[in-house]
A and B are shown apart, each in its own frame.
Chain A
Amino acid sequence: QLVESGGALVQPGGSLRLSCAASGFTVSDYYMSWVRQAPGKGLEWVSIIYTGGSTYYADSVKGRFTISRDTSKNTVYLQINSLRVEDTAVYYCARRFGGSRVFDIWGLGTMVTVSS
């Protein structure tokens, strides 16, 4: 199970840290990702952290978002800086399923709204 938290209403230019707490498995044993969905829109992959610690980002968030994890808390984070109106979305945490490069477990999401 994955449970996201940390979403909020933020002004443009602001920052947030989203959390994704896992239970039933160890986040450091899996590739963990963030996927977002703007209101009424489709899914957009945002970032992933590999078991070895390597991280990758979509071009739209590179340089502004940082993914990390805390193994002692079994939690994955997404630090979001320099927020833009277009970052408004539900942010889902998802676990990658082995070598198939797909996401088999998703959280319920946390809403980030960027507005002045």
Chain B
Amino acid sequence: EIVLTQSPGTLSLSPGERATLFCRASQSVSTNYLAWYQQRPGQAPTLLIYGASSRATGIPDRFSGSGSGTDFTLTISRLEPEDFAVYYCQHYGSSLYTFGQGTKLEIK
């Protein structure tokens, strides 16, 4: 079973700054099946990125994803107030779906 480890656990930044979030897989995974979600407090998750680098419908272009093999990155180029939330990476493999433990992006 593949384990996804996200870092850092908490990231404290100010609006306007650049955020870089990491997701490391315990073994090499297909980029086709790596996704990122945003979850604001009290809300359901929202799909941001799929296929490691493709933005979901309606997602602003300040969000970008990259990576391959075991290391993946979500970058938010300039933080807006609504971007402060928890972010999860997710992978699919062998009919199972795995989430990372999440990174909390908080206002500094």
Specify which chain A residues have a CB less than 8 angstroms from the CB of B56 in the assembled complex. 104
Q: Which of A40-85 contact B (CB under 8 A)?
A: 42-45, 48, 56, 58
Contact residue among B43, B97, B100 (Cβ-Cβ distance under 8 Å from A101): B97
Chain B CB within 8 A of A33 CB:
yes
- Check B95 against A56 for contact (C-beta < 8 Å): yes
Partner of B98, one of A45, A92, A97, A107: A45
In the complex, what's the smallest C-beta–C-beta distance from A38 to chain B, in angstroms?
Answer: 12
Main SS class of interface, A:
strand
The interface size of chain A toward B, counting residues with CB under 8 Å, comes to: 20
What are the residues of chain A within 8 A of B92 when measuring CB–CB? 101-102
Task: Find chain B residues with CB under 8 A from A8 CB.
Answer: none
Q: Indicate if A106 sits at the interface (CB-CB under 8 A).
A: yes
In the complex, B69 has a CB within 8 A of chain A:
no
Q: Mark B39-54, 1 if CB is under 8 A from A, else 0.
A: 1000111110011000
Cross-chain contact A103 with B99 (CB below 8 angstroms): no
Residues of B within 8 A of A108 (CB): 43-44
Q: Which residues of B contact A116 (CB under 8 A)?
A: none
Whether B47 lies near A103 (C-beta < 8 A) is yes
A42 to B28, CA, bound (A): 22
- Size bin of chain B's contact surface: 20 to 34
Residues of B within 8 A of A48 (CB): 95, 97
Q: Are A106 and B50 in contact (CB under 8 A)?
A: no
Question: Given contacts A102-B35, A102-B50, A102-B92, is CB(A45)–CB(B44) below 8 Å?
Answer: no
| Of A33, A42, A58, the contact of B88 (CB 8 Å cutoff) | A42
Contact A42 B44 (CB under 8 A): no
> Are A45 and B97 in contact, CB atoms less than 8 angstroms apart?
yes
**20 CB-based A-B contacts, threshold 8 Å:** A35-B99, A42-B101, A42-B102, A43-B37, A43-B99, A48-B97, A92-B44, A97-B50, A100-B50, A101-B33, A101-B35, A101-B92, A102-B33, A102-B47, A102-B50, A102-B90, A104-B56, A106-B44, A106-B45, A106-B46
